[in-house]
């Protein structure tokens, strides 16, 4: 399946606000579109994979696989692909920015550094619903 390239995702139009993280495949930036969102009220996450890091085809295949999966997701508890673009140096794709960090950051913000039973049930329910959705996608494709 080809990933639709969003005409609104133009690298030259994006301004980096900060680096959100670095991993084995690339760097994730918090960015905003200077023309569509000049006040940076709706930033999004942009994963940039440097093509020179494609020492093996495995990394390239993995990046393509990620964008394919993200383009198929339509669920409130899962990220969706906002846009995709590439040039001679980078393969980049955008997903919604989820402020607040990961669950561990949230856990440490709790008074005793633990979640209440109610919070645990809430997060587990979200995870189960997301996994149920992913399972339904796999089952419908087989």
In this prediction, residue 43 carries a pLDDT of: 93
- Model pTM? 0.79
Same domain? 95 vs 112: no
Q: Of the candidates 30, 3, 10, which has an alpha carbon nearest to the alpha carbon of residue 90?
A: 10
3-state DSSP call for residue 90?
strand
- The Cα angle at residue 135 between residues 131 and 140, in degrees rounded to 5: 150
Same domain? 36 vs 85: yes
Same domain? 109 vs 75: no
* Ordered mean pLDDT values, 10 residues apiece, the chain (142 residues): 51 92 90 89 91 73 85 90 86 89 87 92 96 89 69
Same domain? 91 vs 110: no
Q: How far apart are CA 74 and CA 137, in angstroms?
A: 11
Q: Which residues pair with 85 in a beta bridge?
A: 92
Cβ contacts of 85 within 8 Å, gap of 6 or more: 5, 6, 9, 10, 11, 92, 93
How many domains are there within the chain?
Answer: 2
Same domain? 32 vs 22: yes
* Residue ranges making up the domain that contains 129: 101-142
Find the CATH number of the domain harbouring 69.
3.30.200.20
CB atoms within 10 A of CB 32: 21
Same domain? 121 vs 91: no
Same domain? 66 vs 133: no
Same domain? 106 vs 71: no
Q: Is 18 annotated as a binding residue?
A: no
In this prediction, residue 35 carries a pLDDT of: 87
């Amino acid at each position: 399946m080809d990933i639709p390239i969003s005409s609104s995702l133009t690298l030259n139009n994006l301004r980096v606000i900060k680096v959100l993280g670095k991993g084995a495949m690339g760097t994730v930036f918090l960015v905003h579109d200077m023309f569509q969102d000049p006040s940076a009220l709706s930033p999004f996450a942009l994963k940039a994979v440097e093509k020179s890091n494609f020492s093996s085809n495995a990394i390239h295949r993995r990046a393509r696989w990620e964008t394919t999966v993200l383009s198929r997701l339509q669920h409130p508890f899962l990220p969706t692909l906002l846009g995709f673009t590439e040039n001679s140096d980078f393969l980049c794709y955008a997903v919604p920015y989820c402020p607040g960090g990961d669950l561990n950051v949230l856990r440490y913000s709790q008074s005793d550094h633990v979640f209440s039973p109610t919070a645990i049930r809430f997060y587990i329910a979200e995870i189960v619903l997301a996994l149920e959705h992913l399972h339904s996608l796999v089952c419908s494709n087989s």
